[in-house]
Structure 1
Amino acid sequence: MTIDRRRALALFGLGGVGAAGQAMAASPKGLHAGPATFEHGVASGDPLQDRVILWTRVTAPGAKASVGVRWDVATDAAFKTIVKQGRATADAARDHTVKVDVVGLKPATDYFYRFRQTVNGKPTGKPITGRTRTLPVGPTKDAVLAVVSCALYPAGYFNAYDAIARLPRVDAVLHLGDYIYEYGAAADDYGMASPTAKTRLPDPPREILSLADYRRRHAQYKTDPALQAAHARAPWIVVWDDHETADNSWIGGAENHQPGSGPKGEGDWATRKAAALKAYYEWMPIREVAPGALPEAAWRRFQFGDVATLMMTETRLTARTHQLDYGRDLAGKDGKPDVAAFRARLNDPTHRMMGEGQEQWLAREIDASVKGGVAWQVLGNQVVMARVASPDLKATMGPEAYGAMLTKLPDYVAKAVEQGRSLSALDVPGNLDAWDGYPADRARVYDIFKAGKARPIVLAGDSHAFWANELWDDAGTSRVAAEFGVTSVTSPGYSDYLPGAPISAAYVARNKEVKFTDQGAKGFLLLTLEHGRATGELIAVSTILAPTYDTRVLKRFVVTPGDGGGVKALAEA
């Protein structure tokens, strides 16, 4: 069908949108008495069987006092049957965001919620509303999850979010990271070559570094009507990847962070990371970490009755060691590739992605899920887990067509394509920032799967491409899991740089574990989990360059579980 996203807000009663702070019991005395609006929408998240996080932000220009907010939860859209209500305050300490952890709800139930300003203790002004849902308990027929990743604001319209807002059913939305990007608005900044960039300039128009910067970027994203509609449609379960802090982040820094105070310095990494995480917790519908816990430790479990255990992992900021680099780690003393030395560094067991604490947590959760008779163990994970070597486009296209393509490409793209061919010939991983760059850690995760006799489905973001992969153990004798990689909402994929080139076919031809990939489509994954089968629908939007678009199911794959754990098959349906 053809969809005009301008209707998105009307579907869920989104009249205004705005700014707010940490929820608490509040006295009306001394609160702002002037008008306030909700210009940044509403959101819900981290649903459990009896509770859910509700979020909004209050905007009250010129207000010197905190703003009072009333929230209501009802079982009907007209709010005739209100089951929970309370007060909160929006203040500057949390950038006027409000986050409420509503408890005492019924499982597997749709709820409607709203926020209103209070003046002198009484609700006033136009409310802003949303819809959410709690998780089921016990025997459960199925669960339907929409999965998204990588939304670059200047690169295009967020049509995938709009399409999710219009789904007839979605129990939860999983965002696997790169909810925002940190880049600026210079002509050569990432995404600024898009035809939509002139009307979607990043705010602030520079790379974000400070707490105020990260807050402004989150605020800009949440003014987008498609994103607002998707947040108002269902609860979100989120985790950051790298761009919520900086590109290719790891525990001690990031590729896009130059420490120091000189002309090109970007300050202290720990300070920047702390600012990014504070803004993230303020602006996202994620439950606050336990007192005394590190904010980086965002791994957590969600139980969808007996049909699925969802384990959201964190692979960026708690334990990840510095990524290897082809230039630094592959070149030998004579300048030629030293593959043996490179592989030794790559396979070093101290080269970590996840860390011991999180691995132990994962093993406990897998064991409990399987012993509890749960059908699927789902890993919400940031980066692709399959073994993926760089494709050899010359072999796929033939020398003549390949050479003609190179002559038409910008120099930096042609150079990257040739480097990929060289890496493919050396049989080394094509992406050192993905699990391929941390094979010892991946093997430990596979050992956890196998020891627990799990039936795992791995979900991955980051790559700006759709993937349907079979994950095999190191020996190549056991299929341990299936993987669905979700493409980006707007961020460019390889096909955007190589229009017309058969890069997706080249990936499949080169890699045993890759059963399907599309390196150009934009959209989302719709995952339906049932006893005995899991269906992944790769849903593409027809364009991100206009707000009117079509959707289509690009491919549909069915995963069937193995009898004693693992996956029996991943097949196109």
Structure 2
Amino acid sequence: MTIDRRRALALFGLGGAGAAGEAMAATPRAPFAGRVAFIHGVASGDPLDDRVVLWTRATAEATTAPIAVRWDVAADPAFKTIVRQGQATAVAARDHTVKVDVTGLKPATDYFYRFRHVKNGKPSGKGVSGRTRTLPKGPTRDVVLAVASCSLYPNGYFNAYDAIARLPRVDAVLHLGDYIYEYGAAPDDYGMASPTAKTRVPDPPRELLSLEDYRRRHALYKTDPALQAAHARAPWIVVWDDHETADNSWIGGAENHQPKTEGDWAKRKAAGIKAYYEWMPIREPAAGTLPEASWRRFQFGDVATLLMTETRLTARSHQLDYGSDLPVKDGKPDFAAFAVKLADPARRMMGQGQEQWLAREVDASMKADTAWQVLGNQVVMARVIPPDLKAAMGDAAYAALLAKLPDYVAKPVEQSRGLSLAGAPGNLDAWDGYPADRSRVYDIFKAGKARPIVLAGDSHAFWANELWDDAGTTRVAAEFGVTSVTSPGYSDYLPGAPLDQAYVARNKEVKFTDQGAKGFLLLTLEHGRATGELVAVSTILDTKYQTRVLKRFVVTPGDEGGVKALAEG
């Protein structure tokens, strides 16, 4: 696969800050001197204890000329004490986005930053500003993280992002994927049946295929005021899932990509990745590395090692499918044969290189006596069998439920019950579809006697799970699954069904789930305990909303690694 990796790294200002941009033409063009706006706000990300990435986009009507931008970092919101500053150039080859990797900062410190247009050699106007924070170094009391996932633009207002922006304290925001969605604006496209879709129409109004398409969708998202506020509040640490390219993507394609009509998958994937690096506050790939290999480490003093993984585009095997891969024997589904196929050790979520990196980082974290090893991961890791709603509701109530449902919902519900009776997993796109790879991750945790907390997005539901090894005798880790910002959950299709209770009753590893709430996870990490608060917003159909903590769970570390328990706190 050929990926356009043209980029230049220029050093500006004090402290060796770097600005990422595309290579300029051989003959430099004069900087744009017309009107420039920063309508997409600002963002910061990938914080370390001495640096952070700053981002914005300079918008000028009908120009391909470079735009000169001044950036300042200050110790105060009034910008009276400037600690770093410099100049960057927004160029058309990067969609006039700007990314600056500012170095020479102090650990565990709040900073304020701004971007202004440079016109005739001088900064012009107030520009646009935000707040960021560096990571702690050495002994640290606690860390507070907000975790989010899955924001479907037409389906509702981004109230969860607004709530994050209003938090009294947040050291960093973790986004676990599906920051954008690739669908179009046709009446039957995902999210377009929502009452909010009329005022939140996707742009472009078609499925994303080209680089320009992905750029326009990112641009649309970053005009949302709630999302802008959350980005301006704290640094973000991000990873993509599938919808940043296409639904249920894997190394060789995606469920929502048809090569005959939509072209080459490698070209589409490259377009999605390029737009992502342009529009997100993520550090640029190191020279000589593939942009897809986005796994990286963040050290929060001696409290937590955060390991962000990549499980979509570098190694993931094609997802199995019950419709095409479940054998039939004597006229009946052969789940035993399917289980053998599912357990094939050649089926991968992570490649060998990432797996070896994970083992090294977990080992180093434990040797440094770090309190927690946190896995920033896209999909649910727990073993989850679908609930048997008929058993939970009774025959009559279940029949009445099915009678009310449209066929496209009723049929999967019945199929899901069949999987429950067979003890088969329901989501083959999650770690349940790659059990051998999951076991290898657990082996890494156990070998290092780690104290892991797994974070998961993708499912549009809250989860509090205990992860056990294959033998079911050792509690390996705790898992918090974060629900969506707006994307629909199962309860949205099955109102009134006792899904949450049925999931808990059917699954040893599931201690709590809410399949309908929208919101975010607030994770507080301390020595000796980690507290996960499942924060729900009251509505996504109105910008007026309230928040409440649905549940609060406390994780305590095990004496010999793993966790003792996941308990309500």
Quickly name the TM-score band, shorter chain normalised: over 0.9
**Please, which runs of 5 or more residues in structure 2 have no aligned partner?**
1-18
Q: Which amino acid aligns with 2:55?
A: W
Q: Which amino acid aligns with 1:172?
A: A
Q: Which amino acid aligns with 1:488?
A: S
CA RMSD of aligned residues (A): 1.5
Match of 2:497 among 498, 501, 504: 501
Secondary structure of 2:328's aligned partner: coil
The question of whether the paired residues in 1 share the 8 Å contact of 2:43 and 2:130 is answered with: yes
Match of 1:421 among 400, 417, 420: 417
Q: Which amino acid aligns with 1:424?
A: S
Q: Which residue of structure 2 aligns with residue 524 of structure 1?
A: 520
Distance in 1 (CA, whole Å) between partners of 2:30 and 2:325 is: 61
1:557 matched to 2:563? The reply is no
Q: Which residue of structure 2 aligns with residue 108 of structure 1?
A: 108
1:235 matched to 2:241? The reply is no
Distance in 1 (CA, whole Å) between partners of 2:451 and 2:420 is: 31
Distance in 2 (CA, whole Å) between partners of 1:345 and 1:174 is: 34
Distance in 1 (CA, whole Å) between partners of 2:127 and 2:204 is: 29
The question of whether the paired residues in 2 share the 8 Å contact of 1:23 and 1:100 is answered with: no
Q: How does 1:110-259 map to 2 (within 5 A)?
A: 110-259=110-259
The question of whether the paired residues in 1 share the 8 Å contact of 2:20 and 2:100 is answered with: no
Distance in 1 (CA, whole Å) between partners of 2:378 and 2:331 is: 34
Secondary structure of 2:59's aligned partner: coil
Distance in 2 (CA, whole Å) between partners of 1:304 and 1:23 is: 32
Q: Matched residues, percent identical?
A: 81
The question of whether the paired residues in 2 share the 8 Å contact of 1:24 and 1:89 is answered with: no
Secondary structure of 2:21's aligned partner: coil
The question of whether the paired residues in 2 share the 8 Å contact of 1:535 and 1:557 is answered with: yes
Secondary structure of 1:321's aligned partner: coil
1:339 matched to 2:338? The reply is no
Once the 2 structures are TM-superposed, how far is the Cα of residue 63 of structure 1 from its aligned partner? Answer: 2.4
Q: Which residue of structure 1 aligns with residue 70 of structure 2?
A: 70
Q: Which amino acid aligns with 2:302?
A: D
Distance in 1 (CA, whole Å) between partners of 2:266 and 2:565 is: 44
1:452 matched to 2:448? The reply is yes
Q: Which residue of structure 1 aligns with residue 3 of structure 2?
A: none
Distance 1:302 1:118, change over 3 A: same
Q: Which amino acid aligns with 2:202?
A: P
Once the 2 structures are TM-superposed, how far is the Cα of residue 336 of structure 1 from its aligned partner? Answer: 2.4
Once the 2 structures are TM-superposed, how far is the Cα of residue 333 of structure 1 from its aligned partner? Answer: 5.7
The question of whether the paired residues in 1 share the 8 Å contact of 2:463 and 2:481 is answered with: yes
Distance in 2 (CA, whole Å) between partners of 1:528 and 1:335 is: 52
Q: Which amino acid aligns with 1:436?
A: D
Once the 2 structures are TM-superposed, how far is the Cα of residue 24 of structure 1 from its aligned partner? Answer: 9.8
Once the 2 structures are TM-superposed, how far is the Cα of residue 563 of structure 1 from its aligned partner? Answer: 0.8
Q: Which amino acid aligns with 1:95?
A: D
Secondary structure of 1:549's aligned partner: coil
Distance in 2 (CA, whole Å) between partners of 1:42 and 1:23 is: 20
Distance in 1 (CA, whole Å) between partners of 2:406 and 2:256 is: 23
Secondary structure of 1:440's aligned partner: helix
Q: Which residue of structure 2 aligns with residue 82 of structure 1?
A: 82
**Please, which runs of 5 or more residues in structure 1 have no aligned partner?**
1-19
Secondary structure of 1:548's aligned partner: coil
The question of whether the paired residues in 2 share the 8 Å contact of 1:28 and 1:120 is answered with: no
Q: Which residue of structure 2 aligns with residue 329 of structure 1?
A: 325
Once the 2 structures are TM-superposed, how far is the Cα of residue 411 of structure 1 from its aligned partner? Answer: 1.0
Distance 1:235 1:399, change over 3 A: same
1:361 matched to 2:357? The reply is yes
Distance in 2 (CA, whole Å) between partners of 1:283 and 1:454 is: 35
TM-score (norm 2): 0.95
Following TM superposition, the consecutive aligned residue runs of length 4 or more in structure 1 with deviations greater than 3 angstroms are 23-29
TM-score (norm 1): 0.95
Distance in 1 (CA, whole Å) between partners of 2:386 and 2:479 is: 18
The question of whether the paired residues in 1 share the 8 Å contact of 2:64 and 2:92 is answered with: no
Instruction: Report the more deviating stretch, 62-71 or 38-47.
Output: 62-71
Aligned residues: 550
Distance in 2 (CA, whole Å) between partners of 1:274 and 1:560 is: 42
Distance in 1 (CA, whole Å) between partners of 2:390 and 2:29 is: 72
